[in-house]
Structure 1
Amino acid sequence: MANAESSTRPSLWKGRSKAAAVPPDDFADLNLPITYRHLLSPPPGARDPLRVVALCDSDAFYAACEQRRLAADPARPLVVRQWDALIAVNYPARTYGISRMSKWRDAVKKCPELLVVHVATYKEGDAEPQYWDNPDTSTHKVSLDYYRRESAKIIAIFKEGLPEGEIEKASIDEAFIDFTNLVHTEILERFPHLKQLPPDAPHGLDTVLPPPPPISWQNLGNVVPIHSPPPADGGEQAAEVGDVDGDDAGPTWHDVALSIAAERMDKIRADVRTRLGYTTSAGIARNKFLAKLSASYKKYDSQNILRNAAIPNYLRPMPFQKIRFLGGKLGQALADQYDVSTVGDLLTISLEELQSKFGESSIWVYEVLRGIDRSDVKEKPTLTKSMMASKNLPQAITKASEGPPRLRILAAELALRLNDARSASPAVWPKTIMLHVKHGYDTSRSKQVPFPFTRNVTVDVIAGFADKLWKEFVGAGRDGAPPIKVTHIGLGFTGLEEGENGQKSIEGFFRSSSKPPSWGPSVYPKRKREPTPGGSAHEPETETEDTTSVATAPVAMRDAAASSDKDNGAYVCPRCHRRIDTEPAGVGDPSSEALARARLEHEDFHFAEDLAKDDGGGGLRPTSPRSRPAKRKKAGRPKKGEEGIAKFFTRT
């Protein structure tokens, strides 16, 4: 809604009639001259005028995965169901008017021969997800693990096909691919006369490149025509390659770059189709924003090429709320403020006007409407810092005994995902395990504990820690424990890290050793220990078969527990003579692993003391957190409300 000020003060920019008065230089950024400096210098990133980015989208991905798993006829209509909703509809099913907005029972009525596959689900007692015809939301948990694995196979083929490019996974079925490095290399190889600056170049390296040769777009994909705008509703539109021949815009060096990228993209897509059986659709343009838009120009097993010359007429008639991040509250605010609906309507609004209404950061809106996007394509790390399995509960948990069965379902998903990650990188291990609970509809609480290394990650191991966290949350066994009403539970790992083979523990920087620890990078580094009865000052180092895995903490735990098993659940420190009692951790034998954990944690304190600097009085200054004085919290200024376009987005 327009604010009170705008309703009383007429706006110079109100209405759609101004759309025809777009300044001629609105798209001047599309026609930058390309010089020898641009070609011969390393690509300058997002501002490179030869930059080419593609967005590759797997067609009806979940449905394609299930069709491949079941070896079903590709021509048979198929949908993937999650509870009562559809999350994927293949193209044969779409011809019956079925969409993801349809209910699965209504879809069957439209197409009696429709193959309906419910997404795999976890059930209590199952170590892996299974396929059920009618799973119960109260006892089952949705699993997307199969789709994640298939997505990883596709990304691997992308990387094989373009080792010199950056590949950014945008979602489970989409990825951005930056072809800029390939473009620079290929242009110099195909046109060797450009490798040297001509001796008579009038402006040195800033001399504009000579005109490129004609380009044949045949067999490269659908080239968006310059003078044929897309439909006003933003839907898919067929394109004819022949339309390009009639355009009055001659070829540019960026067109050459697009054609080079299209050739490689076509080979990569063919490889995915041949090796995995999946079809993809791609959009190829000058940046990520336009690549995303052009990918939907014509869908299903195709690629679309958006030349710079075609961008103005491609964008102007497009409903601007179809653009990512302009379809929510911000898009509605723009529509209400200026009474506009298309990109062309908004082009009449100056940057100063936009910033006066929506803040300084609205320059992003101003630029994206003109086809400018400077965001980089950055490969995301394969290893995420966390894993989370969660479930909204259709029926709230009101009894403490109802929690463990549901947590066990989440534990099964986490066990499978962590083992999948470790099959690719054996040194992966999380630091902590966390329980997140939503109590009622407003209050959220989280609890976490360290997650010690266990060689065999099973559902029982994870469920044991989950049960302990659950008991702490509900106050099981305590008199007067408050009533519970849990509407959401989540179980996850945090602090996932990947150790490196041969990684040295911190002690290696303070004392030499004739042989490094045989069990590799350590979460629990080996330390110099005080002699114990019947033992030596240093623990023996033994070879293990798995030298590539994460620090096998149980090795240290067993060694530590072996010399203290006489204490029957307690450890007496030989340095400070303090007795350390333990309690069962919910997993394993309390006299071994739990006791060893307590011993190692206590020895951390002494180890830190030994490394501390002399305080000037000949003594050691303790550096353990428990010996440090508590820091005083600084009085922070009250947070201001969100300003500019930020207030139109939901903080996550």
Structure 2
Amino acid sequence: MANRKIIHVDMDAFYASVEQRDDPHLRGKPVVVAWRGKRSVVCAASYEARKFGVRSAMPAVQAERLCPDAVFVPPDFTRYRTVSRAVREIFLRHTDLVEPLSLDEAYLDVTENKSNLGSATEVAQTIRRQIRDEQNLTASAGVAPNKFLAKIASDWRKPDGLFVIKPADVLDLLTPLAVERIPGVGKVTARRLAQINIRTVGDIRALDLAELNRHFGRYGTRLNELASGIDNNPVEPNRPTQSISAEDTFETDVLLRETEPIIRRLAEKVWNASRKETRIPRTVVLKLKTAQFSILTRSLTPPVTPSSCEELIDTALALLAKVGRDPNQRYRLVGVGLSNFRDPAQSPNPLLFD
């Protein structure tokens, strides 16, 4: 749909910014939102901390080495959710088509806006101003004809920026970008692309589609579309749950056989969370991370979905028995999840959760 008007709004260093807003002593200082400890990871870093190379998902001990003067603040997700809901209320003044991606970012379809503003750019400017006035926080926004381009645009002038990609400028803007700017292109895919001398988005577009598909299967077609600025995915305001999971990182690495009590506890947590869903999960997933940071998963889609917490625990423990690694291998993290959600009518046992 070529005539869509999409905004991607991304709150700037959200968790850290909320902390700085609420505690004047933190303003202007390098703030790291994380629990202290060798197993903790960074939830967010203020822009003052980012100057030292501190980034989200970085081990907290590494952040402390990079920025010895950083102020560590434990995360307060209840407060962040409250702020996120207030920001979402601002979005909803302008359109009902809001697709939250997380607490700090969302897509908005403002092809038709409720505030009767003359352009998507005006809507984005108004939203940013309202967030600043009402929440004393800043947000960056991108305006574009589709979600993919809006996401790229919102990163263009962070923090506290607005960037608009007009249809006529799409190809010129995309051509020099690194392939990593495309969703789904991580380090592994980027290396595979580099092996066939593709390093920019323009390189992807120049390669024959059949050749792309030969190397990347159906994802080659998606790469080709995005490299041309094509993304027909709509904003989904009621995006259905794809998965529910819980995981735990250990203070000290443990042997596989020592993970059973943790798996039982995590499975119970996941089961309780799944009770809030009207859709039915079909697949049980077990995730492990070794002491060397390698991630491995085991999954099972049984003929009949687990109908109780005990059955979920039994399935997760059965997956544990299928790990098949060196018994002396140690692990730093374990997770349990439910995925492959389906509407009840699509499930082989639709009355299971009644």
Alignment of 1:149-298 (within 5 A): 149-163=82-96, 166-182=97-113, 260-298=119-157
Report the Cα offset of residue 295 of structure 1.
Answer: 1.2
> After superposition, where does 1:296-335 map in structure 2 within 5 Å?
296-335=155-194
User: SS at the partner of 2:43?
Assistant: strand
Letter in 2 for 1:490: V
Select the residue among 236, 244, 249 that pairs with 1:378: 236
Q: 1:95 aligns with which of 38, 46, 51?
A: 51
Give the whole-Å Cα distance in 2 for the aligned partners of 1:471 and 1:326: 36
CA deviation digits over 1:10-32, x for unaligned, max 9?
A: xxxxxxxxxxxxxxxxxxxxxxx
Q: For residue 372 of structure 1, what is the amino acid of its counterpart?
A: I
Equivalent positions of 1:42-191 (< 5 A) are: 46-48=1-3, 51-68=4-21, 72-81=25-34, 83-100=39-56, 103-108=59-64, 111-119=67-75, 147-163=80-96, 166-182=97-113
What do residues 124-176 of structure 1 show as CA deviations (whole Å, max 9, x unaligned)? xxxxxxxxxxxxxxxxxxxx66545543442232112324xx22223342211
Letter in 1 for 2:47: Y
Contact 1:295 1:303 in 2 (8 A): yes
* C-alpha distance in structure 1 between counterparts of 2:143 and 2:281, whole Å: 42
Report the CA distance between 1:281 and its aligned residue: 0.6
The answer to whether the 8 Å contact 1:437/1:446 transfers is no
Indicate the SS of the match to 1:56: strand
Q: Which residue of 2 aligns with 1:490?
A: 336
Indicate if the aligned counterparts of 2:9 and 2:139 stay in contact, CA closer than 8 A: yes
Supply the distance in 1 between the matched residues of 2:220 and 2:193 (Cα, whole angstroms).
11
Contact residue 57 and residue 174 of structure 1 kept, 8 A = yes
Flag the 1:378–1:412 CA change in 2: closer, same or farther, 3 A: closer
Whole-Å separation in 1 of the counterparts to 2:218 and 2:343: 38
Give the Cα–Cα distance (whole angstroms) in 1 for the partners of residues 342 and 44 of structure 2. Answer: 31
CA gap 1:430/1:354 in 2 versus in 1, 3 angstroms:
closer
Retained in 1: the 8 A contact 2:263–2:317?
A: no
* 1:182-229 CA-partner distances (Å, limit 9, x unpaired): 39x766xxxxxxxxxxxxxxxxxxxxxxxxxxxxxxxxxxxxxxxxxx
TM-score (norm 2): 0.69
* Contiguous gaps of at least 5 residues in structure 2: 291-295, 319-326, 345-352
Contact 2:121/2:164 (8 A) holds in 1: yes
Partner AA of 2:2 in structure 1: R
Instruction: Report SS of the residue matched to 1:367.
Output: helix
Question: Contact between 1:410 and 1:491, CA under 8 Å: does it hold in 2?
Answer: yes
SS in 2 for 1:398: helix
CA distance in 2, matches of 1:385, 1:392: 23
Q: How does 1:494-513 map to 2 (within 5 A)?
A: none
Task: Tell me the equivalent position of 1:369.
Answer: 227
Q: Distance in 2 between matches of 1:97 and 1:360?
A: 36
1:349 aligns with 2:207: yes
Shift of residue 349 of structure 1?
3.2
Larger strand percent: 2
Distance 1:471 1:357 in 2: 39
Output the CA distance in 2 between the equivalents of 1:107 and 1:299: 21
Pairwise CA distance, 1:336: 1.9
Q: Deviations over 1:297-352 (max 9, x none)?
A: 11011211122343333222222233223344444333322x24223344433445
Query: C-alpha separation between the residues in 2 aligned to 1:91 and 1:367?
Result: 34
- Match for residue 247 of structure 2? 390
SS at match of 1:266: helix
Output one character per residue of 1:450-505: Cα deviation in whole Å (capped at 9) or x when no partner. Answer: 46xxxxxxxxxxxxx55x86589879xxxxxxxx999635377998999xxxxxxx
- Partner Cα distance (2:339, 2:206) in 1: 50
Does the 8 A contact of 2:263 with 2:316 survive in 1? no
Q: How does 1:439-454 map to 2 (within 5 A)?
A: 450=307
Q: Per the alignment, in what secondary structure is the counterpart of residue 225 of structure 2?
A: helix
Contact 2:283 2:299 in 1 (8 A): no
Percent identity over the alignment? 25
Contact 1:55 1:295 in 2 (8 A): yes
Relative to 1, partners in 2 of residues 1:375 and 1:67: Cα closer, same or farther, differing over 3 Å? same
1:547-581 CA-to-partner distances (Å, cap 9, x unmatched) read: xxxxxxxxxxxxxxxxxxxxxxxxxxxxxxxxxxx
Distance 1:361 1:180, change over 3 A: same
Distance 1:413 1:76, change over 3 A: farther
Q: Which secondary structure does the structure 2 equivalent of 1:92 belong to?
A: helix
CA, structure 1 residues 91+177, in 2 after alignment: closer, same or farther (shift >3 Å)?
Answer: same
Matches within 5 A, 1:420-435: none
1:181 deviates by: 1.9
Q: State the alpha-carbon separation in 1 of the partners of residues 112 and 134 from structure 2.
A: 26
RMSD: 4.5
| Separation in 1, partners of 2:7, 2:61 | 37
Letter in 2 for 1:175: A
Secondary structure in 1 aligned to 2:26? coil
